[in-house]
Each structure stands twice: as C-alpha cells, then as structure tokens.
Amino acid sequence: MRFSFAGPEKRLTSDGEKESGHQRVLPGISHHVCPTLTRSCFFTFCALEMSKAGALDLASGLGGKIEKDDVLSAVDKYEKYHASFGGLDEERKANYTDMVNKYYDLATSFYEYGWGESFHFAPRWKGESLRESIKRHEHFLALQLGLKPGQKVLDVGCGIGGPLREIARFSSTSVTGLNNNEYQITRGKTLNRVAGVEQTCSFEKADFMKMPFPENSFDAVYAIEATCHAPDAVGCYKEIYRVLKPGQSFAAYEWCMTDAFDPNNRDHLKIKAEIELGDGLPDIRSTRQCLAALKEAGFEVIWEKDLAKDSPLPWYLPLDTSHFSLNSFRLTAIGRFFTKNMVMALEYVGLAPKGSQRVQSFLEKAAEGLVAGGKKEIFTPLYFFLARKPQIES
C-alpha cells in the first residue's frame, strides 16, 4: 500500500533528490487510496514514529540531574542569563559552568530523542541520510588526526559519547570523554555498556578550562561543536595544548559567526541571540577569532575551512520546516508539532516536570535561529581546523 499528501512545489527528499508534481508519495503506501484513509494512515505513522524511542524515556530524562520540583526555577535562571531576557555576555561568561550545566540538564533528553547519540551537524551529500552524514563527519575527523590503533585520544566536551564510541571503533583507539555535566556522563556510561566499549571508552567529569590531566598526556585531541561553550577560546585551547603530546594534532568543528555577520544589523543580532539562548552559549565567536586564539595558544595551524561552503545539501536541512524526511522525522515540522504536544501532555499529567514546555520552546527558537543563520550565511557549525603542537616548543 502507498499513500501521499499534497505538496504543489518541488521539494528535497531525505536523500536530497528533487520530487516533482503535485503529490509527494511516501514509501509503501498507494496514492490511489481515499483522502480520509490517507490522513488516517499518515497520522498513525506519526504516532508510531514519535513513540519509537519512547515518550516515557523522554519524560524520565527531562531535567537531567536537577530535582524534578526544581526544573521550573532552573529554566527561569537559565533564561535570565541570555540577551532575550536581559542577560549580558559578561554574566554568561562569568557563570558559564552553571549556565552550561543547566542547559544540558534541561536539553539532553530532547537532543537524544530527536537527534540520536551524536549531537552535531555535518556536511551532507545527496543520497545520504542524516545519520550516515554524521558518521562520515566523525570518520573524517579521525582520518585528519591520523589516528592509529592503541593511541590515547581526548574528546573535549563529549556529550553522551556518540562520537567517541564511533571514533574508538573506527580507529581502534582508546578515547576519554571530558564533560562537566553529571547527567550526560551517567547516560554515556550506560550507552558504553550497551555498546560493549567500556574497555576503550571512558569519561572524566571536569571543566575543559581546568583539565585534570598531566602535561603531554594524549596522542590526539578533538572537539566537536563543544568548545563554543568556553568563555575564553584562548584559555580553552591552551589547556588542550598543555595535555597534548608534542608533535601531535588537535582538530575541531566550531560554531562560529562568519565574515557575513554584521554586529550592527539588528536581524543578525536577533539570530545570534536565539542561537545562544537555545544552545547554551556564552558568546558566539567569529571564525577569525577562533583562528587567532589557536595561534595565540601556541598551535601551528595546518589547515582550516568552513566546511558548510562546499556541502551539497545545507547543514541546516534537518531543521528546515519546509523539508520533510522519514529518516529524521522527529526534526521535521510535523515531528516537532507532535513533540510539542506530547511534552505538553506529559507535563500536564505530571510525567514530565513543570518547565519542560519552556525548554522545548527555547530549543524550537534555537532551531529557527540556526536555519535563519544558515540561510543568511552569517553562522556556521562547521568551521573546521587541524592544528599541531610543535615538536619543540619555542
């Protein structure tokens, strides 16, 4: 059986190919069925898709390590750090540990529910699913670092460990994930056990501005869309430099404002503020600032590039409400509509803590800001660099 729903214009499918004509056909269901059955089947599909990882799993993780009765006040405090609620850059930087921890306690369950275990974007080829592009992006990082079996690698700001598990298996290395959020570490350890990688993948709870490792500890270091949370890029990169062995490399994907960003443009500033609020960021640096910070920290920059420029499909496509994909259904407009109403219901019946809807709301704002920033080309999550610690320090 196959069915379709109306869509008069051409659109990109999940594999990036154009579809033409008035109707868009979903696989396995006939477009000859009556409209009533079409709608019924479609909404049944939506309900099944939304329940796949479990609404109760989402509800149980909301708030992270924050006591359920304290979630609403945590949301209040988190929002007040940001410009949309009168907060200042200086205050966010001074209180970055509290702000970022609150953010990930509040948002991690949503991330995992909608995005999977790897919380990052990726350049994407036509014919490639979101999940495939994310894995390839992680493999690219490992290849750029030249990882070899048995090496000791550090993942700075590792989330729940999706990338470190993938990179450890891909390169046969041992990867330590550095993270300052207790809930994410607890979740990551559970996923390590499920994947059977406890022997090669581990976690360390610490601030990446003050790492608990001796000098020259690691054969390679990487960061995937994580060091953007640092209040000071130079200080963060200096810590990475300190724990990296001489002659070895550091690679990262950074969230940055591009040269097209105009700090005097109110629309640009609004987009930047939406991304900072919805993604727990003290201040989004420019690509030029990141590059200068690397050099100031002592690194030799081998190469750097905004990989968004050459991506055949836009990196923000999964969040674009004009796009529909079965492979990343929960990120589509329909999927997000279902999530919003599901969270509302879970909060109403007491399965999700009060404040959960507000978290979902600022994450939705972040998605809007990311898409707008991507379309205007003033923001990128794909600024890549490969840098080396000199063999002999000057």
Q: Which residues are catalytic?
A: 225
How far is Cα 67 from Cα 181, in angstroms, rounded to an integer?
15
If you write DSSP's letter for every residue of 97-159 in order, what string do you get? HHHHHHHHHHHHHHHHHHH-S------B-TT--HHHHHHHHHHHHHHHHT--TT-EEEEES-T
Distance CA 314, CA 20 (A): 20
Task: Give the bridge partners for 313, in sequence order.
Answer: 124
In contact, 248 and 173? CB cutoff 8 Å: no
Helix axes 96-115, 356-375, angle to 10 degrees: 80
Contacts of 260 (CB under 8 A, 6+ apart): 376, 377, 378
Phi, psi dihedral angles at 217 (to 5 degrees): -90, -30
Partner residues linked to 388 by β-bridges: 249, 300
Name beta bridge partners: 251. Answer: 222, 386
Instruction: Give the tokens for residue 9.
Output: 């214009």
DSSP 70: G
Helix-, strand-, coil-residue percentages of the chain, each rounded to 5: 50, 20, 35
How far apart, in whole angstroms, are the C-alpha atoms of residue 79 and residue 115?
Answer: 23
Residue 300: strand pairing partners: 388
Beta strands in 10-118 (DSSP E): 11-12, 18-19, 23-26
